[in-house]
Structure formats: structure tokens, C-alpha cells
Structure 1
């Protein structure tokens, strides 16, 4: 049966009855599979805002992802309480909550080291080598099969969202080559932008980026056949996951800036009071009144600051959760009809002002920018080094991506590539269309390796490799 709540898996046995679990729903199993996976653990050493920070109180991608999962579950619960029919018969505890927890935890798994600057660095490397899509080398002959121009964006504008789908569906070790073998509903709900690169439309919030690579197109077609969703149709729960990411980027990134002492909680409130869009918001007045109580308690300044940060975080998250929940309830019919377009937090001046404060005081902090610049330099150097190793094989063995490398350095570098990634690059030769071509598989192998690295591993590996001759 076609349903957006399908709990089928690609690895299910022919006898559907064998898949049942009396204790946990399959969506709860999805969350567990993600939680115990290696890519989730790696998020502990991937940048949220402050790269490789010595203050262990600030967030990494791991803590950010756990918070997004928690917020998503809370919003789903509020929506269900307001109107359970909006989830079209899905059980809150067995389906909605665990699915939201799973896609919230997974949403950033494909992000490379150093956050969005890492994505930019990968794209810039390809921008400087556009011959790579058509030729053997910058001065070499043309490839037997060039990469079509409409797929160049997959590399020129590398994005962690489609890498997430690739990571959980293919790159994790599985006896049947199915990654974590998550349910079809969870996999398709994890696709934030429900289009491939050729169909991307800038200006449309849900198609402004691409959500899957050509290498996963066949998988996405299978997910759609089972769930009934089509190109450009977003799963209803994806709207909630996106809103929670926005809330985290607003409140919690500012929370980190306050923890770092870059901006004080009183400065945040003063900025909101001075802003036309947020000055009259009830939560601003409520928080300001609580700050007055803290000041009247005559606590030491450093303790008073931490107490204020706690109030600000709690009150603001609650206000933004209410906003997202109310918007989903109001737009529920359009969401389920796949005619809704605007993200749930787009009309929140409070969310936008907090994001602006995060950009001003966190993302634009000189310390952050310095580490991002160092990270970008390391990513650029590593991509060059790994590309040389990936491409270094005899011309007559061009089709054999696993053929022996000739140079000593390239042998060493190639040996560093994950066996999971190498296996997929080799197996994909039997794929359909351009995904089976050698050059496409080479480039996917390169981005798999680079995007899978953590911040610390990236810096240490570049220190190890950059002086090799």
C-alpha cells in the first residue's frame, strides 16, 4: 500500500510478517540505528559555530543535532494535541515522535568539517577545476563519458543535505549494501529539498537547493513509488525538522555566543527592544522582567549572567516552538496537499533577529573566521592530494577505480580512504546512466572521503600530508 508513513525497508524479507517487533515500532528502530552509528558520533568533532573550541560548553554538530531532534519531537507533540488529524492517522508515539527524532538527529550527518564553510571550500575546489567534468586532466584529452552540465552543481555547489541521504542509505556497512536500512518514510522525510540538481529552482524555498545526488536517484524513485510522494513534494514532517533547525540556529547559536562572553544576555534583550520587529514581542518583555528579578537577587555578576542565559534560552525556545506549531496547524491542509511553500519560521521577526545576532556576534567573530579559513585551506589541500591518489592509475586501467596506484605517496593516500567508500565506488559501476561512469564515481569518492572527515582529523591529516613530496 502507498503511504507517506510506510515502515517498509529495502532489506525486508519477502514475508512481511517477519518484520514485526512487539516492543519497538520500526521508526523507533530507525532512531536507534542512527544513534549508534559512526556518522552520528563523528558529529561531536564537527563545527556548529565555533570550530575546535576549547570551551566544552559550546555546541558541536552533535549537540546541535540532538537539540533539533528534541525540538522536533516537542513540536510534533503540540501539533498532535491541537489536531491529530493533521498526521493522517499516524500514531504519535509509535510513528510521529520517533520519525521526528530520527530525521532531526540525521539532518546534518552529511555536512563536512568546518560547517557551511567546508561546503563552500569543496565547491570552490571544483570551481577552479571545471575541466574535471569533461577531461582527463587540465591539459588532457576528453573523457569517454563526460558529466552532464546539469549535474555539475552537485560538485560546484556541494551540499551536506544530499550527502546525508547517501551516507545513511549506502555508505554505512551492511551485508546487503543498504547502509543503515532505514524505513522508506524516514528516508524520504530526511530529504529537505525534494528535487535533484537538474530540477532545482532558486527562489522557491523547497527547491532552492537540491536534496539528492544522481547516484541516489534510483533510490529516491523507489522511495516515492512506496510513499506516493513526487518530485517537489516534501514529506509533512520535513517542515517541522526545518523549523527546528531554524530555531536552533537562532536561539542556541546566540546562546553559545553568550556562553563565550562575546555578547551578554542584557545586550541581546537590548537589541531586541531596539528592533522594530521584536520590541513588542511578549517573550521579550517577559524575559526582561525576569532579568530584573535576577538583578534584584544580588547574585555575583558571572552567576547572574548564567541564570539570565538560562531564562532567555528557555523562554525564547518556548515562544518559537509555539510559533512553529501554530503555523503548522494553520497550514496543515496545504502541507498535506503539498501546496504549502513558506517555511514555518519565515514570518517570525524574533527568529530572524536572533539569526542576525548570531551572524553578527558568532559567525562573524574573528576567531571563528580564522579557524574557518584554516579549515578551508586544509580541505582544499586534502582534495588536491586525494584527487591525485584517486586518479593515479595506468591509462589502460582507467575503468578500474581500485587499480594499483603507481606513486608511493598516492599509494599511501589511497590506502587512507574508507573501505566503505571504495566499495561503493567500485559497485556503482553497475548503476544506471551517468552514475556508473568512472569520472562521476571518482568525484563521488572524493567528496565522500572529504565530507566524512571531522574538524580535528582534517587538520591533523593535512599537517601529515602537506609536506610530502
Structure 2
């Protein structure tokens, strides 16, 4: 892969690349478009870890995305400064800030497709689809081809995010928000479709195939992105590419934030003691917190900030050491898994999993998410296929833009239902569930 092509300011849906501008660059405009978008604003009421928390300090998806974006900007700029020098990219008009702006914009959007109730919300939609689809087997209905069915069997917030960015926002213009192809490629950590036969993978174990990054409905759009920035296609019989190099920095920024910040939030919620928090964070931060009169909360903030800074330095070093392998597609690993702190980060993740993610308060909300999203998905999926009186009433609860009775393509219909369900906030989904269940009547 070639950096000049990887950084082209070509927008998806536009015929020509924009001129490079050093005032308000194309990549900075990407960031601005995301900030002003409705899906980004809805992240304020979507679960990070603690759903529907009454604690004002605890992070929502919105705050998490902003923090990841800040870390990503630093990673991009530091890496970019070296890459520009190595490849003399300044003579083509590129500079370190371009790298920072691409990574920060992609980081800002990285959770934009996540449904309510966090990652358990994704699984709730998968489970609901499988149960719903299974109910039609006795009628031998064949609504989808295998690839389309796999999109729902493995419903993925990353793919939903790509769909939001490239189709659902700012319709009907082609390319949706018409972000630059570098930002969209860096956003796509898993540049492959959902259904790829094992013989195609042929034992491949790279990080970028852990999940998938786009639905069948947007495969042509991602293909255009990949070809525009020059991603390496890994197999001619599958929609599967090597990552854009900056996608590794987007992933690292996310990993840094949730590893360190989940400890801080866990402490704030009372799930992790101060002594345990100090042991987990200060192993990386290595600061003297004994000689101050700061509160424990302030000490945790200082350790969190320094730990993030240390991990940023590690990621930069590893990325630059492996740059040539990244450009050939040979490198496909989680950067933090190669850091000096990899064993300790595993210790942190184990502690937060046991003390936080498996805590009764968190688990109970996750269970509720299955009930809430399962019922909403099933009721609305049935409403677009059935004509009985109850289903007709439920159908009319759908906003008009989701009314697809005349659409013949069942795959397109169910995609619109997952668009609606995954776009909900935690509070809205809970309220709608109560209405559908007759617990509330939806009156003000």
C-alpha cells in the first residue's frame, strides 16, 4: 500500500478528490460532520459499561468516543510526523496533522453503530433474529441468501456504523455523509463481509477477521472505498481486504481507553477498591502518589492520565517498527498485544471483567437488554410481514421512514428494522418496550 493513495482526500460519492487545504482540511470536515450528526448525539444515552447510570461522572458512549478520539489524534499526529519524514510526503502536501485528523474522525465514529445496552445489545439482536427466522422454517420460507442471513446471525455494530456513515445519514445522496475514503477505511477495523468460507481463510488468524465490517447492502460502497485508497485485496472470491494502516491506531486508541478508563469507572462505582485501582494503574503510570494530599479520586485521575500517555508511546513505537509489514498487509495483530505491558493489560481486563462486567448490577441490565431488544425486534419484524390487526397497529408505531410494506425485498425490510432498533437510545428502547408490553400507555 502507498501512503499517497492511503491519504487521498477523495470523498465517497464524489467523482473527484478535494483539493488539499491546510485551513479546514477534508479530514477535519469529516470530524465536524460527525459531531453534528444525529447518530453521534444519540451516543449520550447509550451504554458504555454502566447502562442508565445515575452517576453523572460515569462515561456514556458519547464521552468514550470523544476520549478515544483524543487519544487517536495524538497517535495519528506522532506517527504521522515520522511517516511524513520517512516518505517525504510533505512534497505532496501532506503533514502530520492529516494523520491525526483521519484517526480522530474514525475514532469519533467507531461506536456510532452500536445498539442500546452495549455489546449485549448486539447479541440481543442476533438472538432475536435467529429466533424470529427459525419460526418460519415450518413454512419453508427462504427470505435471504446465506450471506444476507449471516449479516443478521452475526449482527455487528461495526457494520451498522459503516451503513450509517455511508447510507443512512444525509440521504438520498450517494455515499451518505460523503466522508473521505481514508476516514471510512480507517474506521473499518474488520474489512470483510460476514460470510467467508473456511477454504478462503485457509487458516488465516489475523486480527482483522475477528468480526466483519459491512453488510451485503453496503458491500459495493466498501469496495469503492478500498479501491480508492488502495487496500490490498486478500482473496478474489471474497470481499476481504487488508486493513488501512491507520485502522490499527483506531483500534489501539479504543483499547487504551477502555482498558484504563474501565478501571477508573469501576472505582467510581465502588466495584474496585482504591488499593486495587492503584495496583492496576500505577504499574503502568509509575508516579509518586504518596507525597500529596490529593483525594483518592484525584490520584486515580493522575494515574489514568499517565498510564494512557505511556501506552500511547508504546503504540507509536510498535507501529513505526512494523510500518513496512503493515503496508504489505503482512502485519495483522493487536498492537497492544505486543507492548511491554501486555501481561499487565490482561490482568486489568481480567479484573474489570470479574469485578465490573460480571457484577450483578451490570449483568441485570444486560439481561434486561435481551428482553427489551428481543421484543422490539420481533414485534416490528412481524409487523412488516403480517396483516393481522395487532401487527397493523404495531406497524403504525414505526416512524414513516421505516414503512416498507410495498418493498418486495425482505432483506431490505429487516435491515430497516435493525436500523430502527440499533439506532435507539437505552431510554427510548426501554420506554418503547414498556408500551409494547402494556406496562405504560405512552401518554404524557
Q: TM-score range by the shorter chain?
A: 0.7 to 0.9
Any stretches of 5+ residues in structure 2 without a counterpart?
234-239
Length-normalised TM-score, structure 1: 0.82
Specify the SS of the correspondent of 2:438: coil
Shift in Å, 1:164: 0.5
1:182 to 145, 160, 179: 179
1:249 corresponds to? 258
Give the alignment of 1:58-457 within 5 angstroms. Answer: 58-85=58-85, 89=89, 91-92=94-95, 94-131=97-134, 137-143=136-142, 146-199=143-196, 203-229=205-231, 230=233, 231-270=240-279, 283=284, 286-287=286-287, 290-294=288-292, 297=293, 304-347=295-338, 348-393=342-387, 407=389, 409-421=390-402, 438-457=409-428
Residues 63-82 of structure 1, C-alpha deviation per residue, up to 9 Å, x if partnerless?
00001110011112222344
Q: Which of the pair has more CA radius of gyration?
A: 1
Q: Output aligned runs, 1:2-17, within 5 Å.
A: 3-12=5-14
How far 1:358 moved relative to its partner? 1.8
Q: Could you tell me how far 1:118 is from its partner in structure 2? A: 0.4
Instruction: Report how far residue 93 of structure 1 moved.
Output: 5.1
Q: How many residues align?
A: 420
Give the CA deviation at 1:237: 0.7
Distance 1:150 1:174 in 2: 25
| TM-score normalized with structure 2 length | 0.87
8 Å CA contact 1:80–1:87 kept in 2: the answer is: no
* Aligned CA-pair RMSD: 2.7
Residue 10 of structure 1: how far off its partner (Å): 3.6
Deviations 1:72-97 (A, max 9, x none): 11112222344434677273455211
Written as runs of structure 1 = structure 2, the 5 A alignment for 1:16-35 is 23-35=23-35
8 Å Cα contact 1:328/1:344 also seen in 2 = yes
- The alpha-carbon deviation at position 271 of structure 1 amounts to 5.7
